[in-house]
Amino acid sequence: MNTFGNIFRLTSFGESHGEAVGGVIDGCPPGISMDLEFIQAELDRRKPGQSSITTPRKESDKVEFLSGIFEGKTTGVPIGFIIRNNNQHSADYDNMKDLYRPSHADYTYQTKYGHRDHRGGGRSSARETISRCVAGALAKLALKEIGIDIKAYTSQVGSVRVSKAYTELDLNKIESTPVRCPDLDVAQEMIKLIHEVKSTGDTIGGIITCVCTGVPVGLGAPVFNKLHAAMAAAMLGINAVKGFEYGLGFEGVQHRGSEINDIFYGTEDGKIKTKTNHSGGIQGGISSGEDIYFRVAFKPVATILMEQETVDKSGKDVVLKAKGRHDSCVLPRAVPIVEAMAAMTILDFYLLNKTVHI
């Protein structure tokens, strides 16, 4: 069950302190030019140690492709790839072998599997998400050929939030600040807050907003496999995510139908569009041709550099003081992961949609 997708599929493997993380990308269309520079740049966006507001763990995070590529292009057969782990400080975790860190997966993994690699969180570490960024980068390259673009940004850290709608922002400025917020004033406040939280050894959560443009009408299936249901599963599959909403989301429950129904109109060139897009680009589970946008809530990461009470495997009280190297706020590094999962989902549903008609 470590496979994501129906047609374009990523099967991922790897633990935080194992030999390598990696995966197999299956169902990638043939003939996509491998822009290795772009792919590496995507990995660098989620890399630890990229700025003063991320964990200092240093990983080169160089991806090695092992199959599925010939003469610089994908061939349609599976693309195997690995990224070696090389900056593990496994000894940092020796004292955690037999205790359960609060709000971590230690207890549930141990109970489910009976035997686990505890070092650095093992399989539950967000280090695994590097495989998603590789597959997501490939998905983006494929989507680019059909005019689909996906951009995510940090729209809230703690209670510091962007009040403008995405349509009022210049999304090309996302990469201008280390926190990946295109509203530059708000970005400065976010960075300040993260530094303050970091200085206390604590952590803080936030929200990422994602926008998919150029998605054609028709992606998604009725009833269970609605496009937004798949997108929700994709996002909730990311570490530390606690919520998902699209279009007006939770805020929309307070409105009346007459206020937020999206009114259709015909364009001069014969297309059908809507005057507003409160629906978030999806109607009845199927993309409408309008922008798809959604928001993803991240809790503060569980590892804090403060003393915490907990228990060991036998249930005895102990006090934990984490060492390791950790992020005070995962949002900036989670932006490319949100994009990667969104790109895989959209490409998967794009390919799936080709099976509708004979």
CA dist., res. 211 & res. 167, Å (int)? 10
Name which of residues 320 to 349 contact a copy of itself (CB under 8 A).
Answer: none
Distance between CA 134 and CA 127 in Å, rounded?
A: 12
Least distance CB 179 / a copy of itself (angstroms): 14
Please state, in angstroms and as integers, the Cα–Cα distance from residue 11 to each residue in 1, 7, 31, 76, 317, following that order: 8, 12, 21, 16, 39
Residues in the interface with a copy of itself (CB under 8 A) total 155
Per CB under 8 A, contacts with a copy of itself among 284-323 are: 284-288, 297-304, 306, 308-311, 314-317
What track of x and - describes contact with a copy of itself for positions 235 through 274 (by CB under 8 A)?
xxx----xxxxxxxxx-xxxxxxx-xxxxxxxx--xxx-x
115 contacts a copy of itself (rule: CB under 8 A)? yes
Question: Is 229 one of the binding residues for a copy of itself (CB under 8 A)?
Answer: yes
Among residues 40, 50, 75, 188, which is the contact residue for a copy of itself, using CB under 8 A? Answer: 75
Minimum distance from residue 188 beta carbon to a copy of itself (Å): 19
DSSP string, 69-137: EETTEE-SS-EEEEEE-----GGGGGGGTTEE-TTSSHHHHHHHHS----GGGGGGSGGGHHHHHHHHH
Closest listed residue to residue 36, CA positions, set 64, 58, 59, 78: 64
Place of tokens 């989301």: 249
Q: Does 48 bind a copy of itself (CB under 8 A)?
A: no
Whether the CB-CB separation of 68 and 27 falls below 8 Å is answered with no
Q: CB of residue 142 vs a copy of itself: minimum separation in angstroms? A: 6
User: Interface with a copy of itself by CB under 8 A: which range of 38-46, 88-96, 164-172, 218-226?
Assistant: 218-226
Candidates 34-42, 44-52, 139-147, 164-172 — which segment interacts with a copy of itself by CB under 8 A?
139-147
Asked whether the beta carbons of 274 and 287 are under 8 A apart, the reply is no
Q: Using CB under 8 A, which of 24, 53, 211, 292 touches a copy of itself? A: 24
